[in-house]
């Protein structure tokens, strides 16, 4: 990869024609970096049929170019096809930096690309800046979110980074922006595909996605048993938010893994995070510590969760949560 490589790329994470919010957030951030360094922003769209994705919206949100790669093996995310195609695109166009949303697919793809391209990767970033000499400068949390580290990869190109959801504001679409759509040539490219997709099953249809919710209500070991998570779900629904859970509750089989918040689950950054019966292990804090407001409900006044909470309620969640739910229903009726 040449040191003269230009332009900042953003991978378009999409499903069913809908673009993930983290992609739009990354486009807004990339726009700011590109404007500061006289570069273009390229949105990289992989699909079997790109016609279902609104490329005009990608341009309105900051892209100068939408690079479209179409192939039957790109019908859904799988590691092999995506790695092969993106590697081919990077080697063909030589971008300076590549931002990928820290979704489940993005976190699977990024390290594979870094290894294939022999370049560095800054993962789970919460901010990105541009230095005239060093290029991309990434900021990422470490040690359970207790410190922020600055990561630089000044030599290799492209500089890879995965961006945490809600780490950057989602840009307001500017319909006056103009850009172009460019078709990538994949002819002759051998694409590996060792995994066969048998079925795609949507979980929690119609519910607010945990990682995109403005309000998250989570339950932990203190909820006691699976049936009691109905209280947590009721409060989340009243708040028009999403239900989360600690690893202890998931490991006990009380709720599916898709609801797990923490170091080994999902990272969330809502406006309000309500922790019910969660002690506050460092692994859980790593997944929600960046929330704007943290409300902790726990009968143990010495629970570690109170050290990071904006507001703490010492008491029985089985009394407090139903009361909160009823009051919120009254206010939102």
Q: What are phi and psi of 147, to 5 degrees?
A: -135, 155
Query: Per the domain annotation, does 203 fall within a domain?
Result: no
Query: Per the domain annotation, does 50 fall within a domain?
Result: yes
170 and 125 belong to one structural domain: yes
Average pLDDT for residues 248-259, to the nearest whole number?
95
**CA-wise closest residue to 135 among 104, 106, 99, 107:** 99
Query: Per the domain annotation, does 120 fall within a domain?
Result: yes
- The domain of 124 spans 8-183
Query: Per the domain annotation, does 122 fall within a domain?
Result: yes
pLDDT of 123 over the 80 cut = yes
* Contact of 165 with 102, CB cutoff 8 Å: yes
77 and 158 belong to one structural domain: yes
Average pLDDT for residues 164-188, to the nearest whole number?
93
Within 8 A by CB and 6+ apart from 228, the residues are 219, 318
41 and 174 belong to one structural domain: yes
What token pair was written down for 273? 């995070």
173 and 32 belong to one structural domain: yes
Query: Per the domain annotation, does 160 fall within a domain?
Result: yes
The whole-number pLDDT of residue 269 equals: 87
36 and 79 belong to one structural domain: yes
- Mean pLDDT over the full length of the chain: 92
pLDDT of 117 over the 50 cut = yes
| Residue 255: DSSP 8-state | S
Query: Per the domain annotation, does 196 fall within a domain?
Result: no
Q: Give, in order, the Cα–Cα distances in Å from 76 to each of 82, 172, 200, 289.
A: 9, 28, 9, 32
104 and 236 belong to one structural domain: no
The whole-number pLDDT of residue 166 equals: 84
Q: What is the pLDDT of residues 127-172, one digit of tens each?
A: 999 998 899 999 998 876 778 899 998 888 999 999 988 888 899 9
Q: What domain count does the chain have? A: 2
Query: Per the domain annotation, does 27 fall within a domain?
Result: yes
26 and 109 belong to one structural domain: yes
CATH code: domain of residue 74: 3.40.50.620
Q: How confident is the model at residue 3 (pLDDT cuts 50, 70, 90)?
A: very low
Cβ atoms within 10 Å, residue 15: 13
Total residues belonging to the chain: 333
Query: Per the domain annotation, does 192 fall within a domain?
Result: no
Phi-psi label, residue 144: left if phi above 0, alpha if psi -120 to 50, beta otherwise: left
The whole-number pLDDT of residue 1 equals: 45
CATH code: domain of residue 278: 3.40.50.1220
Q: What is the pLDDT of residues 44-58, one digit of tens each?
A: 999 999 999 999 999
Within 8 A by CB and 6+ apart from 123, the residues are 102, 107, 110, 111, 140, 161, 162
Q: pTM for this one? A: 0.82
Between CA 49 and CA 55, with CA 53 as vertex, the angle to 5 degrees is 115
162 and 249 belong to one structural domain: no
What token pair was written down for 47? 């699909």
The whole-number pLDDT of residue 16 equals: 87
Q: What is the pLDDT of residues 6-17, one digit of tens each?
A: 899 999 999 989
pLDDT of 35 over the 50 cut = yes
Phi-psi label, residue 310: left if phi above 0, alpha if psi -120 to 50, beta otherwise: alpha
Q: Answer with the residue of higher pLDDT: 2 or 303.
A: 303
DSSP lists the bridge partners of residue 162 as 100
Q: How confident is the model at residue 5 (pLDDT cuts 50, 70, 90)?
A: low
User: Which among 134, 168, 183 is the end of a domain?
Assistant: 183
296 and 259 belong to one structural domain: yes
168 and 24 belong to one structural domain: yes
244 and 280 belong to one structural domain: yes
Chain-centroid distance, C-alpha 184: 26
3-state secondary structure of 71: coil
Q: What is the pLDDT of residues 267-307, one digit of tens each?
A: 888 999 999 999 999 889 988 988 999 999 999 999 999 99
Q: How confident is the model at residue 2 (pLDDT cuts 50, 70, 90)?
A: very low
Average pLDDT for residues 20-42, to the nearest whole number?
95
pLDDT of 40 over the 70 cut = yes
167 and 238 belong to one structural domain: no
User: Which among 136, 167, 183 is the end of a domain?
Assistant: 183
DSSP 115-182: HHHT--EEEEESEEEEETTTEEEEEEEETTTTEEEEEE--SSSSEEEEE-TTSSPPPPP-TT---EEE
The most confident of the ranges 81-95, 152-166, 203-217 is: 81-95
pLDDT of 206 over the 70 cut = no
């Amino acid at each position: 990869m040449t040191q003269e490589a230009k332009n900042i790329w953003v991978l378009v994470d999409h499903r069913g024609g809908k673009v993930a919010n983290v992609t739009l957030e990354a486009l807004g951030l990339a726009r700011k970096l590109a404007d500061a360094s006289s570069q273009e922003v390229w949105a990289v769209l992989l699909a079997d049929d790109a016609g279902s994705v609104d490329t005009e919206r990608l341009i309105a949100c900051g892209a100068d170019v939408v690079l479209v790669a179409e192939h039957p093996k790109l019908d859904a995310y799988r590691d092999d096809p995506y790695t092969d195609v993106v590697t081919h695109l990077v080697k063909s166009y030589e971008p300076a930096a590549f931002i990928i949303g820290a979704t489940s697919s993005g976190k699977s793809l990024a390290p594979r690309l870094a290894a294939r391209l022999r370049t560095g990767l800054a993962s789970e970033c919460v901010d990105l800046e541009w230095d005239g000499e060093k290029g991309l400068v990434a900021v990422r949390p470490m040690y359970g979110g207790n410190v922020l580290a600055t990561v630089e990869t000044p030599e290799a190109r492209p500089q890879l980074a995965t961006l945490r959801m809600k780490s950057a504001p989602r840009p307001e679409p500017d319909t006056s922006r103009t850009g172009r759509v460019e078709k990538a040539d994949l002819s002759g490219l051998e694409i590996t595909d060792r995994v066969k997709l048998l079925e795609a099953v949507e979980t929690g249809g119609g519910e607010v996605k945990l990682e995109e919710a403005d309000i998250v209500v989570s339950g932990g070991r203190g909820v006691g048993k699976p049936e009691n998570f109905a209280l947590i779900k009721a409060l989340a629904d009243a708040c028009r938010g999403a239900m989360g859970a600690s690893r202890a509750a998931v490991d006990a089989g009380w709720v599916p893994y898709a609801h797990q918040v923490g170091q080994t689950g999902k990272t969330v950054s809502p406006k309000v995070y309500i922790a019910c019966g969660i002690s506050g292990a460092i692994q859980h804090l790593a997944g929600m510590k960046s929330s704007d407001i943290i409300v902790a409900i726990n009968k143990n006044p010495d629970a570690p969760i109170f050290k990071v909470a904006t507001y703490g309620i010492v008491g029985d969640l089985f009394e407090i949560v139903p009361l909160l739910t009823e009051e919120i229903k009254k206010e939102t009726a």
